[in-house]
Structure 1
Amino acid sequence: MLNISIISKMDHIKSKPSGPAKNSRQEAFVVVLTTAVVIYCLIGHQFTQEMELIKEETVNVDIIDIVVVACGPTIIDEKSPPIWLSAERQFNQTRVMIKSAAIMTKKQVHIHMVVDTDDLFDRLEDFVNSMPEKYRNRIILSKYDVWYPKGRENMRKMFRSCATESIFLPNIFSHLNKILYIDTDMVFLRPPEDIWIYFKYFNPDQMLSMTEEGMRYLTQGIPLYKDGINTGVVLMDLNKMRDPKIKWMDTMIDLVDNWKGQLRLGDQDLVNIYLADNPDKVLVLPCTWNFRGLNCKSGRNSCPLAAIDGASIIHGNANAFSMNGQWKMKMVYLTFQNFNMTHETPKDLIADLKVNLKEVNKRRLPSYCIRIPGIDEMLLKWPKKVFELTDEDIQNGKETHGFEPKPKNISSNLSQ
């Protein structure tokens, strides 16, 4: 009925005898505004229903299998960062990602770490073991060695160290059916189990789910799925990917050979090329599950759903967490990093996050997202919802970030 009313109103305007231009513009504006309100309400209703479905479905999920690949750096040229800085950054990012999962989840999260050194895993294991019991019991940590097919070890150095390892996960994890693959530079603002529901939406052909890039794709001259997808967060149905008819690994290796020298982003380029020819294999994930500072780069929010539903995972790609150019994203990362799991509560965490996000505006720190109306609420929405907090509950936050001028100083200011 709403759509019919809008169309009738438009017809009325078109057929109305000529009158003052001002009145016509006013009526046209009313139509546009009414249409926008209706669409907003319909979208809001749709996602309210979706959240109710997710709340009901996740009750039956006991363990969430998350796969993370964390390798030491590969020095490509003299402009690459020092090994010690990149290695420490990798550890810190993975640590905060695990920490955020432990805080936000109501289930048990099994994090499968694919690593090339024992040192990184051992340090992460020590961190998990040092957590208070209520958090420690939510995390299982397992180690796996990096694996590439014989004769294809050179693929390890494409883009960044082990950036192509994710395409071989169906072979490495032959004992698992479904996984969530994520990059190390992620912070969960919402329970990890909530994303698991999207497996229910897969049709018989779909075996991957990820978000669209939401900006101009970096690698030019290669086939893309739509305008490009981002592989920082990927749901994988490994059973389907291992189907002999799919020939997943052979196809990926062929793509490496066929597009040699043009793959600037490693696995992401390969998956885009594959999905350009096989669009039936992917279910597009809502952009809120991979929200990045780059979504704000153009001066507008290229993930408008976040304004309604809030950001579920923030992705610190392009060094957003370690450099000083995207402070809204970095402030979320630093607040989780400095949260004391022993002596503070989630309420303290969220109160501090609210204060720290305001500091970005107060100090006029560089940030793409500072120009986006309502960005703080997008980042606070799910933490407040999960812990059932209102703005009145989080009035007494404190600054916990520390504005060190260099990334290396930030990494030294760690706490549980």
Structure 2
Amino acid sequence: MSRRLVQVVLLCLGCGLCSLLYAFSQLALSLEQEAARRQGDSALPVRRQLSGGGGGAWRAAARSAGCSQREPPERCKNVSVSYWNSYWMLPSDVCGRNCFWEAARRYDFVKKQPLEKMHLAVVACGERLEETVTMLKSAIIFSITPLHFHIFAEDPLHTEFREILDGLAYQGKFNYTLYPISFPAENAAEWKKLFKPCASQRLFLPLILKDVDSLLYVDTDILFLRPVDDIWSFLKKFNSTQIAAMAPEHEEPRIGWYNRFARHPYYGKTGINSGVMLMNMTRIRRKHFKNDMTTARLRWEEILMPLLKKYKLNITWGDQDLLNIMFFHNPESLFVFPCQWNYRPDHCIYGSNCQQVDQEGIFILHGNRGVYHDDKQPAFRAVYDAIRNYSFGDDLVHALLLPLELELQKTQHTYCGRIYKVFTKQLTKSIRDICDRRSKGR
């Protein structure tokens, strides 16, 4: 009888304890909600609006929330009440400052794997300082994984680069290394005058950056409209023979340059454009390349000068032509990505010929032909001006997207301007994704 009584008492105590824990949990929830209301915390309804359908809903939410570059404040920072959750897990709207799991995260008992940095290289000479900084800003704005910039520049530009980059916000999101322009000593003058000043520097990146496994090279006139992470992910799609990725020079052979005018071998039907070049540099350094100069296969550092000597009277676009020759003889080594990853005026000045952008928008904008700095293609210049004028910390919708949309509507007298919505389709999604990540406290 006494044993049964003890069991009943223990059962009652257990039920009472569960009820008490439940009451504490509900009290914690109500206190947090009240604290959030006092602080004007609207993160939860914003998250619901942003995750819903329809562009208007997320845009209105982003405007009201001020989807800015500033990181959201730490939720527990100004809350004096400590909460305890009986299940040791945190609901999305409970601070849980002293919860077991929160304490584990706060004091590093649960370790996060550090993110591997993405490496991006650019070569800047002459009047390309502002253009290069604008490109770097576009990479910083949208990318998720930290970036390491490898900037090859003429010596007089180094001080200005340091002053500008050291002054940018989000130092934790990127770092950089500045390098001088350098070519093999015995042929430096010949390499430097090939095509544009310093352009052929990109050919020597695998030999200079010996400790870098993979690298994204871009021209200074590139603008990212989605995270660098997304083009970086192509590295995982390379098969065992592929060492680099580029986009075709043209989609439409009738207006292609290589298939109509080239006096040297070139890749595929219309050649490739090297303004955006993703490289597995470890594979490049190891590969022996087939060529039309000798039956022996040559390494990267062995093949460059012989190619230049053989074709220097027949090449127009310098180092890009040499890359076309190289991949003509080694087509299995190239991964080709679609035109929206390297969208140029040629894709719209004679009518739209990059079909992928109609559905998905432009991912990477390439303003060759100097279109960022003249009035020939105002749609391209509008995007450049919008990113150049954007200040870190400003609201992305009000300070970048909406002014750009207004400017693009003024460009409809041109072929590129008639399809102006492709210039903001992916940009809109990228900004929405940033808002989503911030509303979830990432």
TM-score by length of 1: 0.70
1:225 alignment partner in structure 2: 267
Aligned twin of 1:304: 355
Whole-angstrom distance in 2 between the partners of 1:60 and 1:212: 35
CA distance in 1, matches of 2:381, 2:227: 20
Aligned-residue offset at 1:123: 1.4
Partner of 1:124: 161
Deviation at 1:211, TM superposition (A): 0.1
Tell me the alpha carbon deviations over residues 370-409 of structure 1, each in whole angstroms, 9 at most, x when there is no partner. Answer: 24xxx322211222112228xxxxxxxxxxxxxxxxxxxx
Which residue is 2:233 aligned to?
197
Q: In 1, distance between residues paired with 2:415 and 2:114?
A: 39
Matched, 1:147 2:147: no
Taking the aligned partners of 1:108 and 1:313, their CA distance within structure 2 comes to 19
The reply on whether 1:339 has 2:390 as its aligned counterpart is yes
Matching of residues 157-306 of structure 1 within 5 Å: 157-214=193-250, 215-217=255-257, 220-226=262-268, 227-243=270-286, 245-246=288-289, 247-299=299-351, 301-306=352-357
Q: Does 1:359 align with 2:410?
A: yes
Give the CA deviation at 1:100.
0.9
2:192 aligned to which of 156, 177, 181:
156
The alpha-carbon distance between structure 1 residues 156 and 368, as it changes in their structure 2 partners (threshold 3 A), is: farther
Aligned partner of 2:135 in structure 1 is 97
Measured in 1, the distance between the counterparts of 2:221 and 2:142 equals 16
Question: Which residue of structure 1 aligns with residue 295 of structure 2?
Answer: none
Q: Give how far 1:129 is off.
A: 2.1
SS at match of 2:307: helix
- CA deviation after TM superposition for structure 1 residue 298, in Å: 2.1
- Matched with 2:17 is none
SS in 2 for 1:179: strand
Q: Equivalents in 2 of 1:368, 1:138: separation in Å?
A: 37
Task: Determine whether 1:67 maps to 2:121.
Answer: yes
Q: Distance in 1 between matches of 2:161 and 2:405?
A: 28
Q: Compute the displacement of 1:285 (Å).
A: 1.2
Are the aligned partners of 1:185 and 1:317 in contact in 2 as well (CA < 8 Å)? yes
Q: Distance in 2 between matches of 1:297 and 1:310?
A: 16
Which residue does the alignment assign to 1:386?
430
Q: Which residue of 2 aligns with 1:350?
A: 401
CA, structure 1 residues 60+294, in 2 after alignment: closer, same or farther (shift >3 Å)?
Answer: farther
Per the TM alignment, residue 60 of structure 1 is displaced from its structure 2 partner at its CA by 8.5
How far residue 61 of structure 1 moved from its aligned partner, in angstroms, is: 5.3
Distance across 2 between alignment mates of 1:225 and 1:68:
24
Tell me the C-alpha RMSD between the 2 structures. Answer: 1.9
- Contact map agreement 1:294 1:368 (CA 8 A) in 2: no
Aligned to 1:313: 364
Distance in 2, matches of 1:341 and 1:317, equals 26
Task: State the identity %.
Answer: 30
CA distance in 1, matches of 2:327, 2:212: 23
**1:88-143 per-position Cα deviation (integer Å, ceiling 9, x unaligned):** xx0111011011111111221111001121x32321222222223xx332221211
Deviations 1:254-273 (A, max 9, x none): 11010022221111100011
Q: Deviations over 1:45-71 (max 9, x none)?
A: xxxxxxxxxxxxxx9953110010112
Q: In 1, distance between residues paired with 2:144 and 2:397?
A: 16
> Aligned-pair distance for 1:345?
1.3
Matches within 5 A, 1:323-334: 323-334=374-385
Distance across 1 between alignment mates of 2:397 and 2:157 = 31
Q: Which residue of 1 aligns with 2:151?
A: 113
C-alpha distance in structure 1 between counterparts of 2:225 and 2:134, whole Å: 12
| SS of corresponding position for 1:298 | coil
SS in 1 for 2:288: coil
In 2, Cα distance between the equivalents of 1:351 and 1:192? 23
Q: Is the Cα contact below 8 Å between 2:115 and 2:146 reproduced in 1?
A: no
Higher CA-based Rg:
2
Distance 1:65-1:272 versus aligned 2 partners, 3 A rule: same
CA distance in 1, matches of 2:313, 2:279: 27
Shift of residue 329 of structure 1? 0.7
Structure 2: unaligned runs, 5 residues or longer: 1-112, 290-298, 434-442
CA contact (8 A) 2:243 2:284 kept: yes
Contact 1:128 1:139 in 2 (8 A): no
**Secondary structure of the corresponding residue to residue 286 of structure 2:** coil
Amino acid of the structure 1 residue aligned with 2:151? M
Aligned equivalents of 1:212, 1:221: Cα separation in 2? 18
- Cα distance in 2 for residues equivalent to 1:303 and 1:142: 35
**5+ long unaligned stretches in structure 1:** 1-58, 73-86, 390-416
2:409 and 2:417 in contact (8 A); partners too: no
Task: Describe the shift of the 1:188–1:244 C-alpha distance in structure 2 as closer, same or farther (beyond 3 A).
Answer: closer
SS of 1:190 mapped into structure 2: coil
**Is the Cα–Cα contact under 8 Å of residues 189 and 311 in structure 1 kept in the other structure?**
yes
Amino acid at match of 1:222: H
Q: Please state whether the residue corresponding to 1:205 is helix, strand or coil.
A: coil
